[in-house]
Structure 1
Amino acid sequence: MNTNPKIVVVGAGAFGTALAAVAASADGSDVTLLARREETAEECRRTGRNEPALPGIDLPAGLKHSADVAVLGDAEIVLFVMPSQAHREAARQYGPSINAQATIVTCAKGMEQATGRLLTDVLLEELPGHGIGVLSGPGFAADIAKGLPTAMVVAAAANETATLLAEALSGPTFRLYPSEDRIGVQLGGALKNVLAIACGIVEGAGLGDSARAALISRGLAEMSRFVVAEGGDADTVRGLSGLGDLVLTATSHQSRNLRFGIALGKDGRASGRQGELVEGAFAASVAARVARELGVEMPITEAVAAIIDGRLDVRTALEQLMSRPITQE
């Protein structure tokens, strides 16, 4: 991997645009934002902005815009920035055009709903021969694009690769920490969305800040058990991609998962909201199913999944959680 590798960001949504912008802010960078439609790329070139995704934010002049998959042919780093459930299809669509030596980095926070697999496993299956990494942690797209200080994590199978990715993608206000724990980093990103929905339910139902604090604490314990059972490192849960991301997503109204949970808490039940596009809504049922298969107790995740699926109302779920047997913390 070169000192200034060619980077292509696949996905011109808010987060993809933000990551492309911060990577393009580095001296000597070569970054292309690959959009699905030529109209999007042309509008970005013409205005220097991606208004539908990041309204009012100017993009770096050096950032390139394209809708031609040919730009993937000599890319050294390819970021996949699309919803978690679209990763397999995207890998099949873009895979034939990607440089055989490129490292692929998933930037989504979720698990594949149909199989319960991690996104790095999906990419390893669909794009054999490529190095596969994951970028996750506490960072809202608008904050990153505005140049507000943000720190996240990038993980790869080898620390050397993770370090090279961190150096290539970091910018003056955007710092990436390398990690070798792809499992822990991914599960932290996926499960914090579930817990953010739970915190939203607490807020929407008017249950108070003490309940939110208890939920975050016990939710982290669930997350840690699950990460270890999947082969990850419990210490990762206490870092940026676990605790850091959870604190941000569970307390800021910029979070779609928190807002989704608030609506559930106010309504008292799902009320037809199952189809809303929030990653935590997919991750809850997947994580609950996999946890049962692994024999891992995850009562909060189970409750969130049951509420979203319409099997429980909020009050009944709360009563069940509060009546669980008392055990050591």
Structure 2
Amino acid sequence: MPPTPTTSPAAAAAPGADGAGAAAGRPRAGGPGRRLGRSGGRPPRREPQGPAWIFLSPWVLGAAVLTLLPMAVSLYLSFTDYNLFDPPSWIGLRNYVQMFTEDPRLLRSVGNTLLYVLVAVPLQLALALAAAVALKSMRRGKDFYRSAFYAPSLLGASMSIALVWRALFNDGGTVDNFLSTFGVHTGGWVNRPGWALLTVALLTVWQFGAPMVIFLAGLQQIPGELYEAAAVDGAGRWRQFASITLPMLSPVLFFNLVLQTIQAFQVFTPAFAVSGGRGGPADSTLFYTLYLYDRGFTASHMGYASAMAWMLLLAIGIVTAVLFRTSRSWVFYANEEGH
């Protein structure tokens, strides 16, 4: 019997050899040519989503019951006449029409709020940025000063601090007595229509700790090589600040600007404490939220107050959208092309 022909490994791998095409076209098990999915591989295993929803259920329940449901009720009440005691009666858009045509105090509150935002927010951000730059270059006591500057942000929103602030700027208070030593007699800032709003704005500016910490974190992310190269080219501190610090810090500046603007539109506690809840003197501290509180809980016009709340939400949304729109021309990100 003739011997069975055998094929050497070299002949089997050579082109044109018998079975070479089949060997070349057949992927090895587990090799890169193996196809997964429908054609033969095992489909990916889907993890059960039940445990995730169980852990998310407190947040979902809280958002639905404490946020979404009250918002829906408030939206309904804004189209009704509701005095907290009788059932609400549907009146359509009458509350919204009355806001802009029959309520001069509301327009005064809008003007006061806008003036407060334009004064308090820039001053607060400027002071926060100046403190952050000073802390960055400080070598000793940085942790102490950072904590000391941040403390007012934790305390300033309380009613007790607002009452102390009113006592400081009242007639015969610490500020009035201090200025009297220089021959300046103010009679109390909170009692003068031209100075009462500035008193509330200064309380907000004093709470610059939160944006300062965010600025400080942003400053620490700026590479030091940029300042070294600028110093070699002869740039001074102000030139480095304008050409390096501000452009590199513009995303953080924009973030703080949006947050502080939204908070400024919702200011309530300082105005309530300084004015005694009345918005005086002469409605100079009658902010929008304070007037909303007056209409809803003092005058029992909850339907009208609900309409005011939705207009405030719309105004904040418009201002935020404008800030985002204008940010394209002055906010620069490191991963953007051309920057």
Using structure 2 for the length normalisation, give the TM-score. Answer: 0.20
Larger Rg: 2
Greater percentage in strand: 1
Using structure 1 for the length normalisation, give the TM-score. Answer: 0.21
Greater percentage in helix: 2
